[in-house]
Structure 1
Amino acid sequence: MQLFLEKNNTKLLKKFLPLLLFLVISFLNAQNATIKGVVKNTYKKPIEGATVSYLNNGVTTNNKGEFVLIIPANKEVSVLINHISYKTLEKKFNLPSNKTFRYYPILEIKIEEIDEVLVKDRKKNAEGIFTVKPEDITKIPSANNGVENILMTLAGVNNNNELSTQYNVRGGNFDENLVYVNGIEVYRPFLVRSGQQEGLSFINSDLIQNIQFSAGGFQAKYGDKMSSVLDITYKTPKKFEADFNASLLGASASIGGTLLNNKLSALLGIRYRDNSLFVNSKNVETNYNPSFIDVQNFLSYQVNSKFKIDFLGNIAINNYNYIPSTRRTKFGTLSNPLELIVYYEGQEKDKFKTLFGALKGNYQVYKNLTISLTTSAYSSIEEEYYDILASYNLGVVNNDFSSNNFGEVEFSENIGSQLNHARNDLDALVYNSEIKTTYKKNKLQLDFGIKFQQEDIKDRIKEWEVIDSLGFNVRPPHHNTNNQPYEPFTGEITPYQHINSQNHIKIDRLVWFAQLGNISNWKNHRIWYNFGIRSHNWNVNGSDIETANQIIYSLRGQFAIQPNWKKDMLFRISGGMYNQPPFYKELRDAEGIIHPKVDAQKSLQLVLGNDLSFKLWNRPFKLVSEIYFKSLTNVNTYTVDNVRIRYSATNNAKAYATGIDIRLNGEFVPGTESWVSIGLLKTEENSNNLGYISRPTDQRFKFGMLFQDYVPNIPNIKMYLNLVYNTGVPGGSPSYANAYNYQNRLNDYKRADIGISYVFIDAKNQYNTGWLKSFKELSVGFEIFNMFDVQNSITNTWVRDAYSKQFYGIPNYMTQRVLNLKFNVKF
């Protein structure tokens, strides 16, 4: 009987067990809810391997970022989404039974802040140093891709010539900026007079590792200039790397790696540039054949753990062949439109060849003491030859809309010609040797350096201009009697402008500096400070000139404090004496005569700054503000024609510059850094107590914007916008004009460049298989320069009407809208 019952119970259990399990599972499901979705990053890319969990229960996303998580129903549950490379995200849910909720979380990239790196960045901020990411340089659209292009988006940094890499900083001119590469000062050609002749900047953007820039108030360890410092450090590659860039403007390539059991690090860069795309877009028809070639290499050999030897070499060959054909420029007003028509004969041939080499040894005596010895040589051989005859017709344009000849010249007000001739040669050799020591103990740092430099320069200037109008040779403005065409002139033809000089001078310089810096705390506030002294002694001698010897001293200091406040703020004050002993160009006046006793230009500077770091839209931002004032004495006045500066070679003026610079930078778009800059400036000079007038660099207002963006649904499509607006500067006057009689301003400079590229491969999009796996970066795109086709001008062509004795200033327009295609690849 018992056996019978056991058999029946077993049969019943087997029969009803599936039903029982179904009831239990249904009961449990009735107490749960489901969350389904896809985890992505800010670039809308799915994240594999992210953990989605609550308490001790969780799941991991698949290769598509998908997940399914079961959570208790009718109960508040905190769900965490985390990944080693992204910031953890927490979300609370309270879902009803059997509910399936769709959830698509976005994770932000995690940036680890190591204390040492944080202190280093804070130190640069305290010193008023602006840093730039090297990888952004080639991405920013500009007629001249390079470091200088990014600097010109900053407040206080100006340039109204897109074909030039030169820049003005806070009222200073091109010659007042210091540029260092690996701690070695570099120079620019002497005879370049226009941006289209300039070619390539010395700095090769493909080789850069670090970029630091100070717009004023810089430390005593830097040189004796009055405006700014650009400090570039080239890479020392630890493994093989290569990149190639090509566009309609030229190409560049670089390769780097290690040799000799990784003791030797080698880097080589080659660049070629052709400005034809821009020059042919101007209103002058030309046969233009430029060739700008540059080769640089950087070698670093680690002899042992304490001793390292570096070598930096550069060869640049710029050939500029320019044959103008015709020019047509409309100007004037709607009621009185005019047109200048010019027919040219002749050509210009310029050659600029520069060689540069530097050898540096760095020895760590012991842990706290480092000594370095650097020797360098710079050679520049330059030729500027041209003979150009311009026959011009200044005509009145038909402004009658109903006329069949609307827009055409009806009659000529003036017909004339102009002949320009030059045979200018320059041979410059600059070499120096410098010893520097750095002693560090805890947060204290002591720097000392001494340098000897010699400049040997040979220069020949032969240039003249003859102007003829209506058959009469127009005599020079300094001529005692000039009553043409009413009184005929029967004497010899005298050039309207004429320079004929030949110089050979040597300048010996002995420079030393000492600087002390420290980082400490005061009542829980972080403090940075440094102060130093510089001495500069120079001797000018040469054939047929009187020997002159002078010496100056400069004191400088910086102080910064980061208060222990809830708001992340930093305050700094810097300044002192920033004096500029004359280089060769400052000694030579407009007539080519050398004045060896020209003194150093002197300035007292004060800079007050504030950095405010904050979160906006849950993203990092920084607001940087600086107020500055410069008082200048012994000023050597000058004129600017395009990019050529001509000095008066006297110290008969005083000047000042004051202004405010504001920059807001941060992630306006998640994952990208952009900034907006605004600058206000006023700079004036007083020559021979005649009163204050605007200096040639009086750029009253500056607005600059660098904006980066991407398409949300297609994040591989990147956009870069470079926008600049500068108010007009005094300029455009004839080179012989008196600045006190000519204070007209050029038109405002407005320019917008945009670049759009598709990134196939970058650090976040890599291929593990196939032929694409060997690439680190691969992108193609296009750029539109001067997107709104604004007619900017930087100089004027002056035409004289012999009948009315009136001069017309016809603007020389810069480049028009230009389309450029580009390609970039890195291995």
Structure 2
Amino acid sequence: MIFGQTARIKGIVLDKNNHPVENVNISCLSINTKSNYDGFYELKVPANQKVTVVFSHVSLKKVTVYLTLATNETKEFNPVMSDQEEQMSEVLVDGSSKKLFQNGIYIEPEMLKRIPGANPGVENILKTLPGVNSNNELSTQYTVRGGNYDENLVYVNEIEVYRPFLIRSGQQEGLSFTNTDLVQNVDFSAGGFQAKFGDKLSSVLDITYRKPIKFSSGIEASFLGGSVFVDGVSQNKKWSVITGVRYRNNSLLVKSQETQTNFKPSFADLQTNINYVASAKWQFSFLGNISQNKYQYQPLTRQTNFGTIDKPMVLTVFYEGQEKDKYDTYFGAFKTTYNANDHFTLKFIGSIFHTIEQEYFDVLSQYKLGEVDSSLVSGSFGKVGYTRGIGSQLNHARNDLDALIVNTEIKGFQDWKNSQLEWGIKYTRESIRDRIIEWEVIDSAGFSINPPMINLPKNDQPYSSYTGPLIPYQNVRATNFNSINRFSGYFQWSLKGMIGSSEVFYNAGVRAQSWNVLGDYEIGKFQTTFSPRAQIAIKPNWQKDMVFRLSGGLYHQPPFYRELRNAQAVVQTNTKAQQSVHIVLANDYSFKMWSRPFKLVSELYYKSLTNVNTYTIDNVRIRYAANNDAIAYVQGLDLRLNGEFVPGTESWISFGYLKTQENSQEKGYIARPTDQRLKFGLLFQDYMPTIPSLKLYLNLVYNTGLPGGSPSYTDAYLYQNRLNDYRRVDVGFSKVLIDSNTEKRKTLWLNNFKELTLGLEIFNLFNNQNAITNTWVRDVYSKNQYAIPNYMTTRVFNLKLTAKL
């Protein structure tokens, strides 16, 4: 078969009494297999084409199934064979055709582990896609088409997953929820998604964990941590479990920054997915995750050189104090699937997410701002010759949060007159206990600096005495005990048909959500939203292989807890849902170049937003205004060319143009914090033709600067500073020591390995200086403020060993 163009069908063959049937012959084209003693079978089939699978047995009637599956897709099918009549039907979802017509990108699971990045995994790949942006390699968070980090949906096995609340910087995050060792399928949509997906404005990441069919295990170890996974299957094939353990340590990356630190992180999690096939009709599964992130950070010194060649300057900072953060999360989800018949399926899902978080720090920063002697003939060349400012800054926080989120959901799928109906009803209860105590005191040349947004007597010391109060430069204090009740549901209809000789796909649906926020002293009113959405896709019967898609609708984002808190961290119970009218016009053009397959995807999109909840971003922490006092728009173009630039491997080039602006209180349009104008991404895989076991992986991202260079407490209309462009290249080299093509080894213990790979990764290959925020320092003489960039990581080398048993 053509490389990478296969899929799998597997399951258990049963008789009418739900007993497993042995020695059933399963065939597709020239491919054959038999069911074992427990009725279990697995068969590889060609992908992206309609094929016929035949189940036959000497004493039972034949079952014939027609199906079309996407590349690398695995479909579970449990036929019930009868001794009375033959069965012939299209009982499987047409996977590849749905993916062909829907807005979305399929990502090969094996690619998640191969492509290098400071944070490897799903998010690392997403950041190379058009419309997806991130200027922080230490963070797994991303923005999509002008949205922020809180506007992205993530599902694992159809269950919505969450992330911690109090994270303020990328280096605190630790591990993404998704364990790449367990992944079978990854689909991503950057907009125009269907009604069955939840109430967010920007994107959907839909992940499916695999169901093991035999025992296997694997291990990965590197300077950044390691992971272990184990697949297990019972003898009768009814039980299966996959479990993964991960450990992450960012010391190698954090210590490459310009701030010298004592850094003791500990990020670890345990994740398991258990499946039980009770019969052809009933299936049960459990997804569980326990994660503990401990972050201890003690900064020591920092030196940042900036300015120009003619006027170089240096900032030197000495620190006292430390930061101690802790995030413990517990997640469990139970799911059962009832296949009433070949045309009707019910799913019952229940999940619980519990997070206990604390963020404690006391850090005193004492700085000196000076000019560097740039005279080559001077005896003090390169040293600080003139001090322009001195001062100190004390930051304090005692933040605690305890959140419990419970979900119950019923979903249904019905084949009806050549179309499909899908519906769902969901109830969510969110209980949050939150205490925030943060303050900052700034001292410049021995005099306390007053906050910029408060009316206080003028401070012109030492020329006259200051009679006003001494108050913190920033001060946030709040205690919130809140509960949120949410009722949501959706209904959608899909149909694949023909218009003349052209294939056409229709989808239309609506979502609704009703919620209210309960506080200690205030009960918010019930609010309700309705979100109609639709898609249409046409594949003309042309010589050129093209698909045209139009999708969009009305999208709402009812506020999650973080969006309810204003700049003073006080919950506003009646904050409205943000609303977006979203339109996406797309074209997929599949063609061959150099006798190899390629696809060019073009998407033009526009969003018109109302009830906008404005916000500021500091590193990865978002602070909302929670007053719905703005309107905004997003417009852009995404292009992606992917294919086999090198035979047998998939690579892609992506380009994105984006413009997003907001108008708050009718003061005029300004750039939003996520106004990432231009983006270029490259993901490239290669190997040496003479030594195919030696492989290269390249991950390149270029983003223009974000408008994030201003202090978070300032008026956005007065400060519209942008950071410098973000440029980063990560490269990986790997040597495959053992795989399925390797001959038996003379060293017998090596025969136990199915795969064994040794890799070298170089992060930030060209050692680019990328800034995530600015530190603002005052010059006591000129009264000016200097924006001094806070740089991210420098060039880092990492060794990685991967093995599968």
Residue of 109, 112, 116 corresponding to 1:137:
112
> Which residue pairs with 1:393 in the alignment?
368
Please point out which of 330, 334, 342 is paired with 1:367.
342
- Counterpart of 2:732 in structure 1: which amino acid? G
SS of 2:335's equivalent in the other structure is strand
> Which residue, out of 530, 541, 545, partners 2:518?
541
CA distance in 1, matches of 2:691, 2:343: 51
Read off the aligned partner of 2:544 and give its amino acid letter.
K
Match of 1:757 in 2: 734
| Residue aligning to 1:817 | 795
Check the 8 A contact 2:47/2:69 in 1, yes or no: no
Query: What is the rounded CA distance, in whole Å, between the counterparts of 1:143 and 1:489 in structure 2?
Result: 50
Question: What's the offset of the Cα at 1:337?
Answer: 1.1
Letter in 2 for 1:700: R
Contact kept? 2:116, 2:730, Cα under 8 Å = yes
Equivalent in 761, 767, 775 of residue 753 of structure 2 = 775
Q: Secondary structure at the match of 1:689?
A: coil
> Separation in 1 of the partners of 2:426 and 2:235?
33
Whether the 8 Å contact between 1:766 and 1:776 is mirrored in structure 2 is: no
Q: Could you tell me whether the CA contact under 8 Å between 2:296 and 2:323 is conserved in 1?
A: yes
Instruction: Tell me the distance in 2 between the aligned counterparts of 1:729 and 1:134.
Output: 31
- Does structure 1 residue 277 correspond to structure 2 residue 255? no
1:379–1:112 Cα change, 3 Å: closer
Structure 1 partner of 2:456: 480
CA 1:312–1:391 in structure 2 vs 1: closer, same or farther (change >3 Å)? Answer: same
Q: Cα deviation per residue 1:124-155 (whole Å; 9 max; x = unaligned)?
A: 12111200111111110000001000010000
- How many Å separate the matches in 2 of 1:482 and 1:264? 73
**Which consecutive unaligned segments of at least 5 residues does structure 1 have?**
1-40, 44-83, 86-109
**Superposition pairs for residues 337-486 of structure 1, below 5 Å?**
337-441=312-416, 443-477=418-452, 478-485=454-461, 486=463
Asked whether the equivalents of residues 128 and 700 of structure 2 are also in contact (C-alpha less than 8 Å), the reply is yes
Q: 1:781: how far off?
A: 1.3
CA–CA separation in structure 2 for the residues paired with 1:413 and 1:264: 70
Aligned mates of 1:804, 1:545 — CA distance in 2? 49
Q: CA 1:561 to 1:766, structure 2 compared with 1: closer, same or farther past 3 Å?
A: farther
Q: Which residue of 2 aligns with 1:651?
A: 628
Corresponding residue number in structure 2 for 1:639:
616
Amino acid at match of 1:634: N
Cα offset, 1:120, TM superposition: 2.3
Q: Corresponding residue for 1:785?
A: 763
Contact 1:484 1:802 in 2 (8 A): no
The 3-state SS of whatever aligns with 1:668 is strand
Is 1:804 aligned to residue 779 of structure 2?
no
Match of 2:163? 188
Equivalence for 1:256: 231
Q: Is the 8 A contact 1:730 1:745 kept in 2?
A: yes
Give how far 1:602 is off.
Answer: 0.2
1:111 to partner: Cα distance: 6.6
Question: Alignment partner of 1:578: what SS?
Answer: strand
Question: d(CA) in 2 for partners of 1:371 and 1:42?
Answer: 36
* CA deviation string 1:762-805 (max 9, x = no partner): 34435387433332211001000000000000101111233432
Match of 2:643 in 1: 666
Alignment-derived partner of residue 197 in structure 2? 222
Number of the residue aligned with 2:69: 117
> Paired residue for 2:703?
726
Amino acid at match of 2:527: Q
C-alpha contact 1:472 1:484 (8 A) present in aligned 2 = no
The answer for unaligned runs of 5 or more in structure 2 is: 5-29, 32-44, 51-67, 71-93
Q: 3-state DSSP class of the match of 1:732? A: coil
Q: Distance in 1 between matches of 2:102 and 2:768?
A: 38
Shift of 1:554: 0.6
For residues 700-739 of structure 1, the aligned pairs below 5 Å read 700-739=677-716
* CA distance in structure 1 between the partners assigned to 2:628 and 2:48 by the alignment: 51
Offset, 1:415: 1.1
Shift in Å, 1:491: 5.0
Partner of residue 498, structure 1: 475
The superposition leaves residues 237-269 of structure 1 with CA deviations (integer Å, 9 ceiling, x where unpaired) of: 010011101110000010011126221110100
C-alpha displacement of 1:443: 4.0
Q: Any idea what the Cα deviations from partners look like across 1:382-414, whole Å, max 9, x if unmatched? A: 000000011110111111123332221112111
Deviations, residues 701-753 of structure 1 (Å, cap 9, x unaligned): 00000000111211110000000000001012112111101111100000000
The one-letter code of the counterpart of 2:276 is: Y
- Asked if 1:290 is matched to 2:239, the reply is no
Question: Secondary structure of the residue that 2:782 maps to in structure 1?
Answer: coil
How far, CA to CA, are the matches of 2:69 and 2:329 in structure 1?
A: 38
Q: CA, structure 1 residues 225+162, in 2 after alignment: closer, same or farther (shift >3 Å)?
A: same
The answer to whether the 8 Å contact 2:614/2:630 transfers is yes
Distance 2:133 2:285 in 1: 34
Question: Take 1:479 and 1:356, find their aligned partners in 2: how far apart are those partners?
Answer: 47
Give the match's secondary structure for 1:400.
coil
The sequence identity of aligned pairs, in percent, is 56
1:546 is displaced (CA, Å) by 3.7
User: 3-state SS of the aligned residue for 2:750?
Assistant: helix
1:766, 1:773 within 8 Å by CA — same for their partners in 2?
no
The Cα of 1:680 is off from its aligned counterpart by 0.4
Measure, in 2, the Cα distance between the counterparts of 1:381 and 1:537.
Answer: 27
Aligned partners of 1:572 and 1:610 also within 8 Å:
yes
TM-score normalised by length of structure 2: 0.88
Partners of 1:630 and 1:178 lie apart in 2 by 18
Task: Supply the distance in 2 between the matched residues of 1:167 and 1:113 (Cα, whole angstroms).
Answer: 31
**Inter-CA distance 184–111: structure 2 relative to 1 (3 Å threshold):** closer
TM-score (norm 1): 0.86
Return the letter of the residue paired with 1:686: N
Residue identity matched to 2:408 = S
Q: Secondary structure at the match of 2:692?
A: strand
CA distance, structure 1, for counterparts of residue 523 and residue 483 of structure 2: 12
Cα RMSD over matched residues?
1.7
Asked whether the equivalents of residues 141 and 755 of structure 1 are also in contact (C-alpha less than 8 Å), the reply is yes
Question: Of residues 241, 246, 260 in structure 1, which corresponds to 2:216?
Answer: 241
Deviation of residue 492 (structure 1)?
Answer: 4.5
Letter in 2 for 1:672: T
- Contact 2:48 2:96 (8 Å CA) reproduced: no
SS at match of 2:623: strand
Structure 2 CA distance for aligned equivalents of residues 763 and 739 of structure 1: 58
**What SS is found at the alignment partner of 1:123?**
helix
Give the match's secondary structure for 1:667: strand
Task: Say if 1:42 and 1:670, in contact at 8 Å, map to a contact too.
Answer: no
CA contact (8 A) 2:456 2:468 kept: no
Cα contact 2:190–2:202 (8 A) shared by 1: yes
1:797 and 1:812 in contact (8 A); partners too: yes
Secondary structure at 2:477 match in 1:
strand
Is the 1:475–1:482 contact (alpha carbons within 8 Å) kept by the matching residues of 2? no
1:695 positional shift: 0.3
Q: Residue in 1 aligned with 2:37?
A: none
Larger mean CA deviation between 747-756 and 523-532 belongs to 523-532
Larger Rg: 1
Q: Tell me the residue number matched to 1:532.
A: 509
The separation in 1 between residues aligned to 2:449 and 2:793, in whole angstroms, is 32
